[in-house]
């Protein structure tokens, strides 16, 4: 199973925001820290702001910061909203499914159960669980504390 780059970037951006604490930051700062395309970071930041994970203010005195405490951000829930593109397997999308086994295959149920277990497991974790040692993350990202 692969997560999309969009999910990966979203997780990294939220980790960046968490280690910044209340300090605001910019799209450019995140793009530079992770060596990512500014365009991709901006797209993810916009999405995360629309979903209520980040607050983004434009203009003078503006910036980006977490919209809620890291302990309130469930990783499974985040990935449920970022992983909305291509279905895990073809038969999960009835509108595009071409598999002739669809009516007699038992695999779909097991894979659906596994897919849900993946998210259920990640729901046990919050963003706070992944940033318990912010000073190490700040050092890895060349950020000042």
Average pLDDT over every residue of 12-31: 94
Among the ranges given (15-19, 30-34, 130-134), the one the predictor scored with the smallest mean pLDDT? 130-134
Q: Is 50 part of any domain?
A: yes
Question: Across 10-145, where does the E strand assignment appear?
Answer: 54-57, 63-66
Q: What is the pLDDT of residues 82-126, one digit of tens each?
A: 987 666 677 777 788 888 877 888 888 888 888 889 999 999 999
Residue 69 confidence class, pLDDT cut points 50, 70, 90 = very high
Average pLDDT over every residue of 37-47: 96
- CA of 111: how far to CAs of 22, 27, 91, 97, 142, in Å? 41, 37, 10, 15, 41
Q: Is 53 part of any domain?
A: yes
Among the ranges given (5-9, 38-42, 74-78, 131-135), the one the predictor scored with the smallest mean pLDDT? 131-135
Q: Is 145 part of any domain?
A: no
Nearest alpha-carbon partner for 145 in 41, 47, 57, 23: 23
* Containing structural domain, residue 136: 5-140
CATH assignment of the domain containing 102: 1.10.10.10
Q: Is 66 part of any domain?
A: yes
Average pLDDT over every residue of 38-55: 97
**For the chain, how many structural domains are there in total?**
1
Q: Is 100 part of any domain?
A: yes
Q: Is 22 part of any domain?
A: yes
With 60 as the cut, is the pLDDT of residue 18 above it? yes
Which of 7-11, 18-22, 56-60 holds the top average pLDDT?
7-11
Nearest alpha-carbon partner for 56 in 9, 24, 84, 95: 24
Cα separation of 45 and 1, whole Å? 24
pLDDT more than 90, % of the chain: 58
pLDDT of residue 145: 57
């Amino acid at each position: 199973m692969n997560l999309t780059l969009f999910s990966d970037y979203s997780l990294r951006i939220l980790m960046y925001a968490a280690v910044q604490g209340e300090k605001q930051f910019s799209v450019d700062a995140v793009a530079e820290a992770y060596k990512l395309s500014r365009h991709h970071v901006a797209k993810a930041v916009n999405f995360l702001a629309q979903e209520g994970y980040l607050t983004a203010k434009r203009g003078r005195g503006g910036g980006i910061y977490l919209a809620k405490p890291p302990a309130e951000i469930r990783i499974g829930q985040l990935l449920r909203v970022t992983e909305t593109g291509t279905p895990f397997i073809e038969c999960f999308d009835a509108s595009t499914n071409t598999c002739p086994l669809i009516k007699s295959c038992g695999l779909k149920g097991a894979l659906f159960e596994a897919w849900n277990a993946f998210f259920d497991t990640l729901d046990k974790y919050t963003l706070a669980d992944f940033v318990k040692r912010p000073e190490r993350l700040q050092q890895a990202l060349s950020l000042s504390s």
